[in-house]
Structure 1
Amino acid sequence: MTTLMDIYAARVADGTLRADPAQETVLPMLERVRSELAQQPTKKGLLSLIGGRKKPEAVRGLYLWGGVGRGKSMLMDLFHDHSPVPSRRVHFHAFMQEVQDGINAARKAGVADSIAPIVDKISHEIKLLCFDEMQITDIADAMIVGRLFEGLFANGVTVVTTSNRVPDDLYKDGLNRQLFLPFIELIKEKLGVHHLHSPVDYRQGRLTGTPVYFHPVTADVRATVDDIWNDLTGGASEKLTLKVKGRDVVLPKFHNGIARATFWDLCGQMFGPGDYLVIAEAVKLLILEDIPRLTRGNFNEAKRFVTLIDALYEAKVRTVCTAVDEPERLYNEGAGAFEFERTASRLREMQDKDWGAEAKS
């Protein structure tokens, strides 16, 4: 059988990938999971023929964490694309949104244990769950994941996940975090934990030498931004809905931590600091398009834009912008125009090719 190491080496040889020793250390770990999954009995095996009900145990999975741009998602894709069993690869936020919707539907139907049908459905359909960017920012998710994952593991579902955080830092400083701690221990029991510590930020490198702030917005600019998006995502995208205190915060286009939205998507709605912090936590790079000229007539939108840029800046989220004018000319009149000077300065700083080189944690 062709191994993941063979596939990786072939892609290095043809120039698709660049050899990275830190990534290469992860491949045998993923191959071990893949091999053990391949050796598990199928539903049509001996146990089913004799009426046995015993379910195969979940294979010990992998929790791969490290800074942004180190290749975690690429390795996840490589592994998932060559899975020997029915599997699903999904962003963790999107998965938890589906779980929350399933729980609400079960409760409305009067189901006593609203998590049980979700576990049954997932374990009936797949044997491997691949999560991208596991992180817990919502207390509702924090209170659910323990029982959910216990059920999945008990039903033989193997989990492989990436994250920017070591398990012990999940839901750090969260409300009632002590109730979440058993889930961290469960993760460390059921998944091997590995730090992908590559010195190279490939996301940063792909933007090196490329402008990240474009004005004015012309047809050529839109084409250039499309090229940036396609280079970073391969043209793939899905909508990502983040749950923040019961509200939906929607990123219209999202793939592997790369998001794309317009100014009005993110600043034309009644979002606050908490919403923007969750966006900054979920996104590695944001393409923010069509920033307009801001005046006293759209003061609320301007205030939200300031808050959004502050959140992205503090979280070191690489940002590509298209705007009607230079940062210093976006907001020159109205309340808050003086304070906007700091935002303009931050937008300038974020254009530097080395800005954001340090990984988010």
Structure 2
Amino acid sequence: MGRVTDLYHQRVASGALRADPAQQAILPQMDRVLDQMAAAPAPRKSAWRAFLGVGSPDPAPVVKGLYLWGGVGRGKSMLMDLMADAAGDIPCRRVHFHEFMQEIQAGLHAARGRGEQDTVRPVAEAVAAQTRLLCFDEMQITDIADAMIVGRLFQVLFDQGVTVVTTSNRVPEDLYKHGLNRQLFLPFITLIRERMEVTCLDSQTDYRQNRQGGPVWFAPADAQARAALDAAWDDLTGGATPTPLTLQVQGRAVTLPAHVGRVARSGFWDLCGRPLGPADYLAVAKAVDVLLIDGVPRLSASNYNEAKRFVTLIDALYEARVRLIASGADQPEQLYNEGEGSFEFERTASRLREMQDAAWGLREGDPQTPIV
């Protein structure tokens, strides 16, 4: 096991990162989590429990996790990556919160099919059997199905000795704000405060805004933008004849109108005008390396559902490092300026800005040649 502080300073020294006092202030808290986990014994099942056939292990040592929140582009995801890298022999999983909850919901569905009375416990115990440290990126809860089970889910995870470190754009008290039946969600906020150290990353710098990218976002979405996307498409596909790409997701067909190899193209309404969700967009992100989207409109309360789907789509593309080329009614920061959902869209606009960088999508060790 390494130390997050050491990894951070190594990357600063190599020029991969620029030292930031607000980020540096978080490092000791991350080191504290890993040091305590390394010193704590792993949960075990006693011989008596095994003899009696009781499934739950002995009470697990409690290592308080970390809830890191703050504005977009401040380096929260980067710090989470460093922590996962530093975990060493500690069984650790680094995953986007959306993706994790999709897996949980699939597990609950399977448990119901087996006739389980308590569907949450076996799913949580299966996670705990493989993982001691869960590193979540972008905890946000907008789905009532997730909101209604997270409290019980995380209580079982914590009781099983799982430590959680997560990033979020919101202070815990603003999670699932104005959501349906929110009073049933409130105990989860209390649980976060009990089991995680809540810390704000108060950097004044949005690193995503400071990165300059190539021409992969075209605004306004006029004939000139259409021609630019046509040219990019021809260049990426070599003029090959496209065909539709249909993905089967949980019994639904998700169709991208045109694809050649792992390059696909779709209109905004094809992807966001239909009742699709995180599982559908994760499937799209796994199926392509480059996605072209035509005609992202201005977003507001009048197309709130479509805007919400677009946010989820961009999250999936971002996590999978899918290259995006798109045309929109305006620059990302100006697409959704007011009304319900505009706060959440700040993160999406920041990610869209970051994804314009020519080297975005490259992972450490990749050849330094952009896809487009």
Which TM-score tier does this pair reach, normalised by the shorter chain? 0.5 to 0.7
Deviation per CA, 1:159-202: give whole Å up to 9, x if none.
00000100000000111111111100100110000110111111
Residues 32-181 of structure 1 mapped to structure 2, 5 A cutoff: 32-42=32-42, 53-83=57-87, 84-181=89-186
TM-score normalised per structure 1: 0.67
Matches of 2:174 and 2:94, distance apart in 1: 23
**5+ long unaligned stretches in structure 1:** 224-240, 293-301, 322-350, 352-361
SS in 2 for 1:207: coil
Residues 289-300 of structure 1 mapped to structure 2, 5 A cutoff: 289=325
Q: CA deviation at 1:94?
A: 0.7
TM-score normalised per structure 2: 0.65
Matches of 1:205 and 1:91, distance apart in 2: 24
Matches of 2:133 and 2:349, distance apart in 1: 32
**5+ long unaligned stretches in structure 2:** 51-56, 219-224, 237-270, 298-302, 357-372
Q: CA deviation at 1:43?
A: 6.2
Show the counterpart of 2:349. Answer: 318
Instruction: Confirm or deny: 8 A CA contact 2:165 2:196 kept in the other structure.
Output: yes
Name the CA shift for 1:51/1:177 in 2 (closer, same or farther; >3 Å). Answer: closer
Instruction: Confirm or deny: 8 A CA contact 2:60 2:159 kept in the other structure.
Output: no
Matches of 2:181 and 2:293, distance apart in 1: 35
Which of 273, 286, 293 in structure 2 is aligned with 1:263? 293
Instruction: Confirm or deny: 8 A CA contact 1:136 1:171 kept in the other structure.
Output: yes
Instruction: Confirm or deny: 8 A CA contact 1:135 1:171 kept in the other structure.
Output: yes
Name the CA shift for 1:310/1:26 in 2 (closer, same or farther; >3 Å). Answer: same
SS in 2 for 1:58: coil
Matches of 2:305 and 2:119, distance apart in 1: 28
Q: CA deviation at 1:261?
A: 4.0
Amino acid at match of 1:101: A
Q: CA deviation at 1:204?
A: 1.2
Show the counterpart of 2:262. Answer: none
Amino acid at match of 2:90: V
Q: CA deviation at 1:248?
A: 5.1
Name the CA shift for 1:170/1:290 in 2 (closer, same or farther; >3 Å). Answer: closer
Q: CA deviation at 1:291?
A: 5.2
Q: CA deviation at 1:220?
A: 9.5
Name the CA shift for 1:283/1:138 in 2 (closer, same or farther; >3 Å). Answer: same
Which of 304, 308, 327 in structure 2 is aligned with 1:277? 308
Q: CA deviation at 1:279?
A: 3.5
Matches of 2:201 and 2:351, distance apart in 1: 26
Name the CA shift for 1:185/1:221 in 2 (closer, same or farther; >3 Å). Answer: farther
SS in 2 for 1:29: helix
Show the counterpart of 2:228. Answer: 216
Matches of 1:64 and 1:290, distance apart in 2: 31
Show the counterpart of 2:281. Answer: 250
Deviation per CA, 1:241-260: give whole Å up to 9, x if none.
99979785415338xxxx97
Which of 194, 203, 225 in structure 2 is aligned with 1:198? 203
Q: CA deviation at 1:274?
A: 1.6
Instruction: Confirm or deny: 8 A CA contact 1:64 1:193 kept in the other structure.
Output: yes
Name the CA shift for 1:130/1:111 in 2 (closer, same or farther; >3 Å). Answer: same
Instruction: Confirm or deny: 8 A CA contact 1:5 1:28 kept in the other structure.
Output: yes
Amino acid at match of 1:280: V
Deviation per CA, 1:125-183: give whole Å up to 9, x if none.
11111110000001111001000000000110000000010000000011111111110
Show the counterpart of 1:25. Answer: 25
Instruction: Confirm or deny: 8 A CA contact 2:69 2:167 kept in the other structure.
Output: yes
Q: CA deviation at 1:63?
A: 0.2
Instruction: Confirm or deny: 8 A CA contact 1:70 1:200 kept in the other structure.
Output: yes
Name the CA shift for 1:212/1:127 in 2 (closer, same or farther; >3 Å). Answer: same
Name the CA shift for 1:248/1:201 in 2 (closer, same or farther; >3 Å). Answer: same
Deviation per CA, 1:97-149: give whole Å up to 9, x if none.
11111111111111111111101101111111111000000111100100000
Matches of 1:25 and 1:222, distance apart in 2: 45
Q: CA deviation at 1:7?
A: 1.8
SS in 2 for 1:174: coil
Instruction: Confirm or deny: 8 A CA contact 2:43 2:60 kept in the other structure.
Output: no
Deviation per CA, 1:214-252: give whole Å up to 9, x if none.
6513359967xxxxxxxxxxxxxxxxx999797854153
How large is the RMSD of aligned CA atoms in angstroms?
Answer: 3.9
The alignment status of 1:6 with 2:37, answered yes or no, reads: no
Instruction: Confirm or deny: 8 A CA contact 1:212 1:320 kept in the other structure.
Output: no
Q: How many residues align?
A: 281
Matches of 1:266 and 1:220, distance apart in 2: 17
Matches of 2:174 and 2:49, distance apart in 1: 44
